[in-house]
Structure 1
Amino acid sequence: MTSQFDTLPGTYEDFTGTAFRTHLETPSVLTALGDLHGMRVLDLGCGSGVYTRLLKQHGAAHATGLDISAGMIGHARAQEAADPLGVDYLDGTLPDRLAGTFDLVLGVYVLPYATTPAELSDLCVTAATALRPGGRFVTLPIHPGFRPDAVSYARYGFTLTAPEPLADASPVTLNLRFDGHDDTVTARYWTRATLEATLRRTGFTRPRWSDPTVTEQGITAHGTDYWKDYLGHPHTVIAACTKEGGDV
């Protein structure tokens, strides 16, 4: 099936090298994940495989990437062939054979690409199906407190525009504009109430919410003022929850 991401793997790979990802997003995600050693981890909506490879590099015993974008998966597989880490990539839906086999599911910016409540529920069901009881789901939606006119994110390599007032499934236009790239995709905003209700309904505990933080190296490299706008109005939040039925 075609996807708005099929032509964007190079852009997503290059975005990994920006200050925003290097000093803020990626370390925040890794901190939320904690110790990965010995874990079986699924990168849901893995895109070009950036986080899938990081999961393996940070100790995961098995790391699997899953995405519906053939272009993204093709790029990820090419990366694995050129620099093998022992990462698996799957396109399409989760195979039945993998149900209940993962300790952790990571979904970076996957829930924002559900366009309807049913699609949002389906993504959460996929995460729940993949996990063993007591396994964790860590995901990054658009921040429920996101305000389109609050700040400009342009210095961080992207912009976000959306109609107001925001409501469930409101379209949010993401423009990635950095180092010669200029690409646009459409995401969706979901309220905190809807995200929490959907996660609970699909078998998860109530999520714990945490805003991303910047590293000391990032502050040293770019100064406090550089990060002030983003930290005051982050566009995403980290939601962590646990599949019910295990010892938690």
Structure 2
Amino acid sequence: MNNYVAIYDGIGEKFDQAISKASEREVEVNTFFHMLGDVNNKRVLDLACGHGFFARQMIERGADEVVGVDISSEMIKLAINDSLDVPNLQYHVHDVALMPHLGSFDLVSAVWLLCYADSEETLVQMLVNIHNSLLPGGRLIAYTSNPDFRLGICNFTRYGLTILSEEPIEGGFSCDAQFVTEPPVPFHFYRLSREVYERAIRRAGFSHFEWVVPMIPQKHLDEFGEAYWYDFQRNCDQVGLVCQK
């Protein structure tokens, strides 16, 4: 995971530019908060928090406390700077697969975290740490790379990112991609299989899990039209995942 420290330290403020201009971003946000549900009076651990967008949103929506964690110190600096006036919000720099116990939480959120697991064992390490961070009955709300995506059907450029290449690895694919910005912002991720995910979830001790199809807001269907979203709906590169302790 150390390679990601350099990558995201280097991206810094470009990351916000990259995601804010992608049409898939509103789908991601809409789906995430649908899965998350009511956060009023909840304690939330926000993993791969980046510059703190979701952490701040959850405080605004009534969470008692949010603890953000990211592997990139530069991302955490941005998050702290953008959250100076936000109460009950703190940030830490950790690799989730190796992070110490930070407390017990009602919810753990992980938007674009699990896709950085390069093997089933790394994924299990992440999920075990998440499971150990949850109170009984607590939930993990994740958004990750869709195991069912097939690059041979279509790419994802019109929605905000281009997958440049993918190489088979045990249990999935190792992928190089770039955000559609000027200049493009490169990154690397892993698309592990559905079987690997589900086996890792069970190994980590979760009692129940559910895959969630990304939900395109009606205003975006109206704005861009059904034809624009055709490839997104038939070969989506992202998916929601809810796991319960």
Q: Please report the TM-score for the alignment, with normalisation by the length of structure 2.
A: 0.90
- Relative to structure 1, the CA distance from residue 75 to residue 117 in structure 2 (aligned partners, 3 Å threshold; closer, same or farther) is same
**Stretch of structure 1 that moved more, 153-162 or 10-19:** 10-19
List alignment gaps of at least 5 residues for structure 1.
244-248
- Relative to structure 1, the CA distance from residue 222 to residue 85 in structure 2 (aligned partners, 3 Å threshold; closer, same or farther) is farther
C-alpha contact 1:55 1:63 (8 A) present in aligned 2? yes
Size of the aligned set, in residue pairs, is 239
Equivalent of 1:77 in 65, 76, 80? 80
Match of 1:246 in 2: none
List alignment gaps of at least 5 residues for structure 2.
none
* Structure 1 residues 108-149: Cα deviation after superposition (integer angstroms, max 9, x where no partner): 111111123222111111211111111001112211101012
In structure 2, C-alpha distance between the alignment counterparts of 1:44 and 1:147, rounded to whole Å: 27
RMSD: 1.9
In structure 2, C-alpha distance between the alignment counterparts of 1:61 and 1:8, rounded to whole Å: 31
In structure 2, C-alpha distance between the alignment counterparts of 1:126 and 1:95, rounded to whole Å: 8
- Relative to structure 1, the CA distance from residue 16 to residue 58 in structure 2 (aligned partners, 3 Å threshold; closer, same or farther) is farther
* Structure 1 residues 78-107: Cα deviation after superposition (integer angstroms, max 9, x where no partner): 1112x43432111125443x33x1001111
1:24-173 maps to which residues of 2 (within 5 A)? Answer: 24-81=27-84, 83-92=85-94, 94-96=99-101, 98-99=102-103, 101-163=104-166, 167-173=170-176
Higher strand share: 2
Q: Which amino acid aligns with 1:163?
A: E
C-alpha contact 1:167 1:189 (8 A) present in aligned 2? no
Match of 2:179 in 1: 176
Q: Secondary structure at the match of 1:3?
A: helix
* Cα displacement (A) at 1:63: 1.2
* Cα displacement (A) at 1:5: 1.1
Q: Please report the TM-score for the alignment, with normalisation by the length of structure 1.
A: 0.89
Match of 2:212 in 1: 210
C-alpha contact 1:66 1:94 (8 A) present in aligned 2? no
Identity %: 28
C-alpha contact 2:18 2:180 (8 A) present in aligned 1? no
Q: Secondary structure at the match of 2:77?
A: helix
* Cα displacement (A) at 1:15: 3.4
Q: Secondary structure at the match of 1:7?
A: helix
